[in-house]
Structure 1
Amino acid sequence: MRNHLLLFVAAGTLMLSSCTNPGKKSTTENPASEASTSEASSENIKLEFSGTENFTIKNPKLKVSLYGADEKLADAPATLITEKEYEQKSVPFTIDLPVPKDAESKINPKPTGPAKYYVTISWDSDGNGKADEKGDLFIDYDKRFPNVKLSSEPQKIYLKVLK
């Protein structure tokens, strides 16, 4: 139930962000070409995970996933582009997430304009055998939605303990 609620919140945020930026239509060609250029030249995105709390990590294994969607389609589901497992024993940490060069071509339905990308994590950090539940580390959507660009520049993702 909680996972469905979080997915609903994420979808709502994506819908709102696409509705609140109508003025960007005049520059749609530039972001699309920038995304294509970054995809062609980048095989990894650098993600810096941090948080304001002191975290206790009993299970260091986490999964980071990259999703993509058409920026102009608010009701279309996002497509899983790639995911990878990591081991981390403390926060903050930085990872390099491999991204396929044809990431935009994997998005279904095919984007008619620029593609939008975001990351998620799945982590049973408290070691109770169940990921993404109370007590686990989770992305802090209240602080910032985890949108990312397909570039080699470091990008911040904020974490908090799920309560």
Structure 2
Amino acid sequence: MRNHLLLFMAAGTLMLSGCTKTEKENKAATPNSAASVSENTLPENIKIEFSGEDKFTIKSALLKVSLYGIDEKLADAPATLITEQEYEQKSIPFTIDLPIPKDTQSKINPKPVGPAKYYVTISWDSDGNGKAGEKGDIVIDYDKEIPNVKLNNETQKIYLKVLQ
């Protein structure tokens, strides 16, 4: 019985000795989350290049570009509008600088537990009939590529087409 007690105490001592890292060592061993690092290094704008292969006729040059964010791990959660900006464009291809707030990830609801994913949408009544997103208007070509963007200094490419 006494040997069992000594064995038990020795095992407990070994287990506790593995848990004696200081708080400073724990912080050094745990890297900052991707969210906090990216929030601190976000550019003021993201550069987005819009292009396409269709023959584009633009009667109304005013379009709205919107940036949305969502938790990458959540499948059925709604995306959150982060920012939107209006532009005037008379030809395609074109490039814009979309201003982004410094606290993009904190704007997403529900709050992301993992990395956030961002994408853009456009609303453009390019044929000038008073209604955006209808036959004859310029829209994002989702068949070619999903309009996901990264909040960095790289130029993001978005493909457009005329809605048939």
Regarding TM over 0.5, the answer is yes
Counting only pairs closer than 5 Å after superposition, residues 77-156 of structure 1 correspond to structure 2 as 77-156=78-157
**Structure 2 residue aligned with 1:7:** none
Displaced runs of 4+ in structure 1, greater than 4 A? none
**Structure 1 residue aligned with 2:159:** 158
3-state SS, counterpart of residue 109 of structure 1? coil
Contact in 2 for aligned 1:39/1:150 (Cα 8 Å): no
Deviation at 1:121, TM superposition (A): 0.1
3-state SS, counterpart of residue 117 of structure 1? strand
**How far apart, CA to CA, are the structure 1 residues paired with 2:98 and 2:44?**
8
Between structures 1 and 2, the one with greater helix share: 1
**How far apart, CA to CA, are the structure 2 residues paired with 1:68 and 1:36?**
16
3-state SS, counterpart of residue 64 of structure 1? strand
TM-score by length of 2: 0.78
Deviation at 1:39, TM superposition (A): 3.7
Larger C-alpha radius of gyration, 1 or 2?
2
**How far apart, CA to CA, are the structure 2 residues paired with 1:66 and 1:149?**
11
Superposition RMSD in Å: 1.5
For structure 1, which runs of at least 5 residues remain unmatched after alignment? 1-28
The C-alpha deviation readout for 1:77-113, integer Å capped at 9, x for no partner, is: 0000000000000000000000000000000000000
| Equivalent position amino acid for 1:118 in 2 | Y
**Structure 2 residue aligned with 1:40:** 40
Deviation at 1:152, TM superposition (A): 1.4
The total of aligned residue pairs comes to: 133
**How far apart, CA to CA, are the structure 2 residues paired with 1:47 and 1:36?**
24
Identity rate, percent: 77
**How far apart, CA to CA, are the structure 1 residues paired with 2:85 and 2:113?**
28
C-alpha distance 36-139 of structure 1, shift in aligned 2 (>3 A): farther
**How far apart, CA to CA, are the structure 2 residues paired with 1:37 and 1:154?**
20
**How far apart, CA to CA, are the structure 2 residues paired with 1:36 and 1:157?**
27
